[in-house]
Structure 1
Amino acid sequence: MSPRRTIAIVGYGTAGQALAVLLSRDHHDVHVFERAVAPGPVGAGFLLQPTGLEVLWRMELLPQVLHHGAAVRRLYGDTPCGRTVMEMGYATLDARLHGVGMQRGALFSLLAQAWEHPGNLQADTTIVEVDAVQGRLRDARGRWHGPYDLVIAADGAGSTLRTHVQGTQLDREYPWGALWCLLPRGDWAHYEELRQRYVAARKMIGLLPVGTRPGDDEQRLSFFWSLPRDQFAQWERDGLQRWLEEIATLWPQAHARLDGVRDSAQLARAGYRDAVMSRWSRERLVLAGDAAHAMSPQLGQGVNMALMDALALRDALRAHRDRDAALQAYVAQRRAHVAIYHFWSRWLTPLFQSDRDTLARARDVLFKPMGNLPVGRGHMLRVLSGTQRGWLGTLGLSSGFIDALAAPDAARLC
């Protein structure tokens, strides 16, 4: 058995929440620091891949996730003129697999309910400094907390603490962001698909089924519109009606779903970062989630990676009594998996979010045929599902999880 440790987690997003649940269940003394006055979800919805779903299965949360989420079996993208650009189905990889679209509010609630020590959450506390040697934290009011045996920085893509591990290779904002909101699903026909529409790489519209959330039984869609970050203000000045008319021209069916959107304030703005670290830990400090490996959302892996980080760190602390050995094992395992996703997100993003029309034209012509080739299709599906490990390897999924995901009554067990 690993020793009982005092552990501080900075950040109460998906990584921080999952870590709080898993480490508390192993009887560590866990304390969470969150800068928000009223902690809650940030964002509309996301696509849980089989890798992230397996972590939730191991946390005994899969039935609740399937109950509130929406099964997504296919990804499809086209242009306004009807050219299919992307078409991928999980069944090609394994007939029992699928993704799950979910509202951030739903996952936040399920993870919050699963943590047995909510009194150890200290909100409205911004941590600005970490003494990695002694395991102490200083907040924005000048107060020191600790010492702790281990400090986990899970403060998101815009992490202010990642520099404390002294291994930053790259940390930059992406020039493109997105507008997003939640919409009633209504009679949307593609309730088991992520649907996207592209105009070159300059415009991208997406609709993802994301199910329900505790306290709200209405089925919803997560809507997003790709936009350069420096154009957010101009978009608002141009007025909502002009934008709605553009969507009506590009995708009439999506426009019909926006019937209830009457104010630009109903759409939130999102930005993204690309962060690459040569090391993830120093002394008592270790990174997890987007703080360790922020990347473009183009591959939709952020939440899944955060969940996998949490499980891997829990397992490493179980396997090694020595802290340094545990952190080395955790970092080695996760970096081996994350590296290929950093590579592909960096190279694929300009194909879908950029001003490079030549790249977009090549994408429209070549992307689907490449996906029809056995080797290309298999690689694409493994990357999509989160099961690609390195260039040639595969991350295995347990048979118990696959059976639970495929069980027709799994969502009713909660």
Structure 2
Amino acid sequence: MTERLRIAVIGYGTAGQALAILLTRDGHEVEIFERVPTPGPVGAGFLLQPSGLQVLWQMGLLDAVRAHAAPVHRLYGDTPCERAVMDMGYAGLDARLHGLGMQRGALFSLLEDAREGAGHLHVGTAIEAVDSAQGRVRDAQGRWHGPFDLVVAADGAASTLRDSVEGGTALDRVYPWGALWCLLPAEDWPHMQELRQRYVAARKMIGLLPVGTRPGDATPRLSFFWSLPRDDFERWQQEGMAPWLQELHALWPQASARFAHLVDAGQLARAVYRDAVMKRWHHGRLVLAGDAAHSMSPQLGQGVNMALIDALALRDALRSHRGEAALQAYQAQRRAHVAVYQRWSRWLTPLFQSNGDLWAHARDVLLGPMGRMPGGRGHMLRVLSGTQHGWFGALPLDPGFIAALAEAPRAAASSSAISAAVNVPVT
């Protein structure tokens, strides 16, 4: 039997939502603290990899997710002269595997429904400090909450709480490059099963990812992003839309019909990224999860997937161990998976987002041949799919999950059916 704990979860993004669902299902008393008054999704869209999809399958949510997501079988990137730089398909790893492009709003809504009101959600409550010895948390009004048996900081890439893990931070810096992003109607876009990117050296990158629909909106959409140095955000806005749109159409005329929907700077949100490496993920009763534990460049698209895996790993550690031993087991399991992605992300980012023309030239010359070397393509596809574990291992995928992913999508289950399915403990 799992020991019943009183647990605080700080942050209600993907990691916080998944933790709230999994921990309350195991009988723990969970309180969630979210700083914004009205929680909602942050971001346009993302690519769910097999690693993250397996967690959603174990949670009983795969059919509900597939009802709104767009299957993605290929990742393709080229230059304005249509010279291929990257061409990778999941079939090279396993013909039954693929990713799912999804709107953040869709996943947020599905996870919120799956929580079914379990746990107590404190909205508009920013947590500024954690007493890791006593398991108490202090909000911005100076009120203390707790004590809790466990405090999980899942407050995102810009976490203000990761420093509470004494001696834990090895690196915490903001990347010099960010992005502009928004959702656009897909309409007759011909590449509805592919992530498409276009590169101008490493200085410019445009991307279009099919992300399906969301509850309440049946319009299939694309997630659009434009890479931009953080220091250029203000200049971009001051110069106005006209010169930027002219450049956009010139660089990717094949996508011009999609870009016709970009008419106002207010449509586009800004994203900045951090690189945070922790020597330790826990201290006393405090433990980190999601981007708070391991934020990285989105170049490999693993953020949401890592958050889901963290939540499942912490639940499993609490099932098998008690006290600090559970947190040590969780950290040991996750660091072996996360470390290689942080390193690859750090190395790859200058190849796609920098002023380094030599880096971009090396990328264009070497990326294709590396993917054709013995063992090279398999390694690259495991990194892509989120299943690389350490430098030489592979994260196992359950045969039942692979079979479920290969099946034709079924209609989304009703709320009662999902509730009945997901309350069966998964071992």
| TM-score, with structure 1 as normaliser | 0.98
Aligned twin of 1:285: 286
- Give CA deviations for 1:347-396 in whole Å, capped at 9, x if unaligned: 00000000000010111111112112231111100000011111111111
User: 1:411–1:342: structure 2 CA closer, same or farther, 3 Å change rule?
Assistant: farther
1:114 CA displacement: 0.5
Q: In the alignment, does 2:209 pair up with 1:196? A: no
5+ long unaligned stretches in structure 1: none
1:118 CA displacement: 5.1
| CA–CA distance in structure 2, aligned partners of residues 380 and 119 of structure 1 | 40
User: 1:411–1:354: structure 2 CA closer, same or farther, 3 Å change rule?
Assistant: farther
- Give CA deviations for 1:193-246 in whole Å, capped at 9, x if unaligned: 000000000000000000000111110000000000010000011110110100
Aligned twin of 2:274: 273
Moved more, 111-120 or 283-292: 111-120
Secondary structure class of the residue paired with 2:35: coil
Moved more, 211-220 or 114-123: 114-123
- Give CA deviations for 1:299-340 in whole Å, capped at 9, x if unaligned: 0000000000000000000111x2111111100000011010
- Give CA deviations for 1:281-311 in whole Å, capped at 9, x if unaligned: 0010000000000000000000000000000
Q: Share of identical aligned residues, percent?
A: 70
- What is the one-letter code of the residue matched to 1:30? V
Moved more, 368-377 or 35-44: 368-377
User: 1:155–1:35: structure 2 CA closer, same or farther, 3 Å change rule?
Assistant: same
| CA–CA distance in structure 2, aligned partners of residues 49 and 390 of structure 1 | 17
| CA–CA distance in structure 1, aligned partners of residues 127 and 360 of structure 2 | 42
| CA–CA distance in structure 2, aligned partners of residues 389 and 34 of structure 1 | 32
Asked whether the 8 Å contact 1:24–1:116 carries over to 2, the reply is no
Aligned twin of 1:338: 338
- Give CA deviations for 1:2-58 in whole Å, capped at 9, x if unaligned: 210000000000000000000000010000000011100000000000000000000
- What is the one-letter code of the residue matched to 1:55? V
Aligned twin of 2:39: 39
| CA–CA distance in structure 2, aligned partners of residues 410 and 393 of structure 1 | 33
| CA–CA distance in structure 2, aligned partners of residues 409 and 138 of structure 1 | 45
- Give CA deviations for 1:98-140 in whole Å, capped at 9, x if unaligned: 0000000000000000113356111101000000000000001
Asked whether the 8 Å contact 1:65–1:411 carries over to 2, the reply is no
Aligned twin of 1:28: 28
Aligned twin of 1:5: 5
Aligned twin of 2:301: 300
Aligned twin of 2:424: none
| CA–CA distance in structure 2, aligned partners of residues 410 and 280 of structure 1 | 39
Q: In the alignment, does 2:245 pair up with 1:244? A: yes
- What is the one-letter code of the residue matched to 2:208? L
- What is the one-letter code of the residue matched to 2:113? Q
Asked whether the 8 Å contact 2:47–2:99 carries over to 1, the reply is yes
Asked whether the 8 Å contact 2:66–2:409 carries over to 1, the reply is no
Give runs of ≥4 in structure 1 deviating > 4 Å: 411-414
Aligned twin of 2:138: 138
Secondary structure class of the residue paired with 1:254: helix
User: 1:243–1:32: structure 2 CA closer, same or farther, 3 Å change rule?
Assistant: same
Aligned twin of 2:177: 176
Asked whether the 8 Å contact 2:24–2:118 carries over to 1, the reply is no
Secondary structure class of the residue paired with 1:68: coil
Question: How many pairs were matched up?
Answer: 413
1:412 CA displacement: 5.2
Aligned twin of 1:64: 64
| CA–CA distance in structure 1, aligned partners of residues 271 and 170 of structure 2 | 24
Q: In the alignment, does 2:356 pair up with 1:392? A: no
Aligned twin of 2:85: 85
| CA–CA distance in structure 2, aligned partners of residues 193 and 70 of structure 1 | 9
| CA–CA distance in structure 2, aligned partners of residues 370 and 217 of structure 1 | 40
| CA–CA distance in structure 1, aligned partners of residues 10 and 365 of structure 2 | 45
| CA–CA distance in structure 2, aligned partners of residues 10 and 139 of structure 1 | 11
- What is the one-letter code of the residue matched to 1:309? D
| CA–CA distance in structure 1, aligned partners of residues 343 and 262 of structure 2 | 37
| CA–CA distance in structure 1, aligned partners of residues 204 and 132 of structure 2 | 43
Aligned twin of 1:311: 312
- What is the one-letter code of the residue matched to 2:256? H
Secondary structure class of the residue paired with 1:316: helix
